[in-house]
Amino acid sequence: MTQAGVVEEAAPTGRAARELLERADVLLASARTVLADHTGAVDAVRGVLDPLLDGLVGRELAVIPVSRLKDVTEGRLRIGAFDQAGFTTVGQIHAAGRYELQQIPGVGSQTAAQALAAAGQIAHAVRETVAVRISVEEPDETTTALVMALHRLVDAGPDVRRAVDAAGRLAGRLEPLLIAAGPARRRMRMLFTGRENRSRALEAVGEVRDVVAEAERRELSLLFAQVSVDLLRAGESDVAAWVDFELRSAEYYSLLAELSGLSPDRDAAEGFLPSGIAERVRELQLDDTRLRVSLRGYQSFGARFALAQKRVILGDEMGLGKTIQAIAALAHLSARGETHFLVVCPASVLINWVREVRARSTLRTLPVHGPERRAAFDAWREGGGVALTTFDALHTLPDAAGCGLRPGMLVVDEAHYVKNPATRRAQAVSGWTQHTERVLFLTGTPMENRVEEFRSLVRHLQPELAPSIRITHGAAGSLAFRRAVAPAYLRRNQVDVLTELPALVQVDEWEEFGPEDLEVYRAAVRAGHFMRMRRAAYARPETSAKLHRLRELVAEASEGGLKVVVFSYFREVLDTVGQALDSPVFGPLSGRLAAAGRQRLIDDFTATDGHAVLLSQIQAGGVGLNMQAASVVILCEPQIKPTMEHQAVARAHRMGQIRTVRVHRLLATDSVDQRMLDILARKERLFDLYARRSDVAETTPDAVDVSDGALARRIVEEEQQRLVTGAAGTDGEFTADTDEAETAGADADVADTDAADPVGPA
């Protein structure tokens, strides 16, 4: 190394060292502040949660007979004296003090201590099994206080976890370094410090410089300050907290499980992997600096499994977040220096992938799809990021060998699409897998029932493993199968890892109009037909992107034996859906059916063993009926009135539901769907805050709803203007029909509303 290089690497001294240490002091103080603020927020939750848990444990102990103490002590404890003194339950023993027990004739100090210790063991075991149930239907003062305390942490967002983890690591590194660097703060002190201590101080200053530089690169001071502000922000009203809980209950329950220590069984969360593989995965530290969300424990493990094993299938059950685990793996690799990533998926979910990557990470995305796909591919090759393409587009692009590029990771969603090696899509994917070190296949299909299909997928990933996979592995059951194929397969089920009450998971499924759909849509816009605009996406069933995605969702639900409810405002849309499905279909449930007939239809749907689909007009099925047999809800289009969606979803997501409910809302980009969501978003928030939880809102939706005839007219006018501006050569004059007959019969659950058009004729 040159002399100049030595000078460049030397630790700062004198004033430069003092200024550096002062900056480090400020950084350390901000780290300690955010840790203290987080501790305060957590303590506020524990202040409500601990008494709640104590009460639940007490109720459980109150029905456990005192004789169970003998079981715990293996018969060594004599309980006759307790029984005679009226202590009949473990709860009574646990609540008593040693002095009180020693007053019982025949009970000495040792017996009292044994009894209390045994009761404590039972109480500890009970505490690990009880769960706090937050009732939206019957909120009380205590659960409201808990929801408000949790809201403070949830509302602060995913940056809290990142900030707290970073602050803890930073404080752990800086505190000892600043102590060691202490002599460098004063010139005179350095002069009178021994050579060894002076050398140690200069070395510490150099390390402080590196720590501070890394913190500044990651903008940790800004992160800490923002999170502290978020954690100290004045709490919203109890109504706002309850509304937020309903909208994202999964996040509340995840935090609740973490703080109460009720995490899922580790073996289940780790997919019952052999200990050697599980340990290797645990040792990998996930870098989440480029993520915008916090991961649940099993999700973090899934991302680390993909990274540690390099070429694997992630087969988690629908609803557990396979996409976010894949994004976390990509973000980790990006933070470690990888620049290019490739995601291959069905065309129906391409837009969702683009939105998810952008919303949940800081990674650059480039959709490589459509007429401009070659230009987009070239831009990705030159500039990096996450290229997202479809199975059908992949074979038209240069292969990995031809473009001289090795992505940091290849992700293949709905990987069962490439199970047949003879197909063009499988061959295109294989070309990339052979030239990519890390490959992640995603599929919700349970592979233990499809051993040959699984073996075909494994040949893409770990060819040496495929011959050892035999039919008998699947026949031996899911756990035996998972252990046999552990190097390449991780699957977790909802029941194993979701310790909370069933969550409501809402997913917006964005689709693009095909040419024929778009032609129908443009015609409806030109004519000013609002209702025809809303159902244009289903006018050509053979090319309908929404219908294609709906069939995929139903097929995935069928694989898991799940029941599905499909809601639409339009009877003709439901007829189209029914004709397109291969599943057992009930309905449509509409206003034409009398109330008793509707209930019989739902009863028949519920009684069906396994998968089935119930079709329902949203006005007819949204009120007064229970559909909790269903755990997948599909909304064919967004609704003008938010109450319609809320009430319809509530038919499935209610007391009695034992699984997570997934709600898929099918939406078309650059259409009436997007205009409706944009306009309603702000108004719906106000509606939620001040009306939704009131008795008036429940009984008379129109009294507080946010929609009216003007909304429909505004949307039509905006779409007409957009198409005039964005598409040259449109024929005809754009004029909106402003008929005031808004959604005739829309709120009457006996209405058949095919012809109800608040803007123009159907």
pLDDT digits (tens, 9 = 90+) for 13-63: 778 888 999 999 999 999 999 999 999 999 999 999 989 888 889 998 999
| In 546-601, beta strands by DSSP E | 563-568, 585-589
DSSP string, 578-591: HHH--S-EEEEE-T
Q: pLDDT value at position 449?
A: 57
Q: Which residue has the higher pLDDT, 715 or 494?
A: 715
Strand order in the sheet with 311-314: 365-368, 385-390, 340-345, 409-412, 439-442, 311-314, 489-490
Q: pLDDT value at position 653?
A: 60
Q: How far apart are CA 128 and CA 116, in angstroms?
A: 18
Q: How far apart are CA 491 and CA 326, in angstroms?
A: 14
Q: Please determine, for residue 253, whether its predicted confidence score (pLDDT) is greater than 90.
A: no
15 dihedral zone (left: phi>0; alpha: psi -120 to 50; beta): alpha
Q: How far apart are CA 228 and CA 167, in angstroms?
A: 12
Instruction: Please state the rounded mean pLDDT for residues 549-558.
Output: 93
Name the percent of the chain in helix, strand, coil, to the closest 5.
60, 10, 35
729 dihedral zone (left: phi>0; alpha: psi -120 to 50; beta): left
Q: Supply the DSSP symbol for 291.
A: B
Q: Please determine, for residue 424, whether its predicted confidence score (pLDDT) is greater than 50.
A: yes
Q: Under DSSP, is residue 343 helix (H, G, I), strand (E, B) or coil? A: strand
Q: Which residue has the higher pLDDT, 716 or 331?
A: 331
Q: Supply the DSSP symbol for 421.
A: T
Q: pLDDT value at position 734?
A: 35
Q: How many CB atoms lie within 10 A of CB 71?
A: 11
Q: pLDDT value at position 6?
A: 36
Cβ 569 vs Cβ 618: under 8 Å? yes
Q: How far apart are CA 250 and CA 139, in angstroms?
A: 18
Q: How far apart are CA 84 and CA 677, in angstroms?
A: 69
Q: Which residue has the higher pLDDT, 211 or 187?
A: 211
Backbone angles phi, psi at 132, to 5 degrees: -75, 125
Q: How many CB atoms lie within 10 A of CB 591?
A: 17
- State the Cα angle at 292 between 500 and 331, rounded to 5°: 105
Structure confidence by residue, pLDDT tens digits, 631-686 = 899 999 998 876 677 767 766 665 345 467 889 999 998 899 988 887 766 554 44
Q: At what angle do helices 141-155 and 220-232 cross, to 10 degrees?
A: 160
- Highest mean pLDDT among 244-248, 300-304, 596-600, 710-714 belongs to 300-304
CA of 295: how far to CAs of 147, 161, 326, 747, in Å? Answer: 21, 9, 12, 40
Q: Please determine, for residue 756, whether its predicted confidence score (pLDDT) is greater than 60.
A: no
Structure tokens at 576: 């189209």
Structure confidence by residue, pLDDT tens digits, 91-140 = 999 999 889 999 999 899 889 998 999 999 898 888 877 777 787 667 78
Query: Tokens 């995305």 label which residue?
Result: 365
Q: Pick from 384, 289, 376: which is nearest to 339 by CA?
A: 384
Backbone angles phi, psi at 646, to 5 degrees: -60, -45
Proportion of the chain above pLDDT 90, given as a percent: 40
Q: How many CA atoms lie within 13 A of 90 on its CB side?
A: 25
Structure tokens at 186: 């004063």
Q: Which residue has the higher pLDDT, 447 or 542?
A: 542
Cβ 439 vs Cβ 422: under 8 Å? no
First to last CA, the chain: 81
Q: How far apart are CA 762 and CA 756, in angstroms?
A: 7
Report the amino acid identity of residue 678. Answer: D
Q: pLDDT value at position 218?
A: 87
What confidence tier does 5 reach under pLDDT thresholds 50, 70, 90?
Answer: very low
Q: pLDDT value at position 748?
A: 31
Q: How many CB atoms lie within 10 A of CB 424?
A: 11
What confidence tier does 192 reach under pLDDT thresholds 50, 70, 90?
Answer: low
Q: pLDDT value at position 480?
A: 66
Q: What average pLDDT is seen over the chain? A: 81
**pTM of this prediction?**
0.60
Tell me how far the alpha carbon of residue 443 is from its chain's centroid. 16
Structure confidence by residue, pLDDT tens digits, 458-517 = 888 988 887 777 655 555 556 667 777 888 889 888 767 765 545 677 888 999 888 888
Q: How far apart are CA 217 and CA 304, in angstroms?
A: 25
Q: How far apart are CA 616 and CA 598, in angstroms?
A: 10
Structure tokens at 128: 């690990």
Q: pLDDT value at position 703?
A: 37
Domains for the chain: give ranges and CATH numbers.
Answer: 8-261 (no CATH), 263-497 (3.40.50.10810), 504-726 (3.40.50.300)
What confidence tier does 625 reach under pLDDT thresholds 50, 70, 90?
Answer: low
Q: Under DSSP, is residue 623 helix (H, G, I), strand (E, B) or coil? A: coil
736 dihedral zone (left: phi>0; alpha: psi -120 to 50; beta): beta
Q: How far apart are CA 583 and CA 560, in angstroms?
A: 13
Tell me how far the alpha carbon of residue 281 is from its chain's centroid. 21
